[in-house]
């Protein structure tokens, strides 16, 4: 992890746990496969790592790599205003039927990342 007191294992775990809870609370978990659930939680755990070091065979599939990259990149504060606008335009996930599943997941990891203090 980066040499930053905030970006430590406790933060990574908090984000992962919060993302997991949000997946359940919003029922998005019911829309995604177990492999995509893994990609979500793995992304949350690794979102602040300098080097992912992913070497598991099933993670080499292009789709899962893209999902992981997308979820990690969605935690970039440079895109915070963009995601905030999306969240403000949707009062609940149920109303977000026009959103793609990946966009919903990006919004959830963004919430998880900014919801706690480590």
**Catalytic residue at 7?**
yes
Query: What residues are designated binding site for Zn(2+)?
Result: 11, 47-48
pTM over 0.85? The answer is no
**Tell me, what's the pLDDT at 24?**
96
Write out pLDDT tens, residues 19-69: 999 999 999 999 999 999 999 999 999 887 753 444 445 545 677 888 989
Query: What residues are designated binding site?
Result: 11, 47-48
**Tell me, what's the pLDDT at 80?**
86
- Catalytic: which of 7, 10, 51, 80? 7
- What burial letters (b/e) apply to 2-34, b meaning 16+ CB within 10 Å? eeeeebeeebbebbbebbbebbeebebbeebee
**Tell me, what's the pLDDT at 97?**
60
Band the pLDDT of 6: cuts 50, 70, 90.
low
């Amino acid at each position: 992890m980066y040499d930053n007191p905030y970006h430590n294992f406790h933060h990574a775990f908090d984000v992962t746990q919060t993302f997991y809870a949000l997946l359940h609370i919003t029922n998005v978990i019911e829309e995604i496969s177990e492999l995509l659930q893994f990609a979500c939680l793995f992304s949350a755990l690794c979102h602040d790592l300098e080097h992912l070091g992913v070497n598991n065979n099933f993670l080499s599939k292009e789709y899962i790599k893209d999902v992981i990259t997308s979820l990690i990149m969605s935690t970039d504060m440079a895109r915070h205003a963009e995601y905030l606008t999306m969240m403000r335009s949707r009062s609940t996930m149920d109303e977000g039927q026009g959103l793609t599943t990946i966009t919903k997941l990006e919004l959830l990891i963004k919430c998880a990342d900014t919801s706690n203090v480590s």
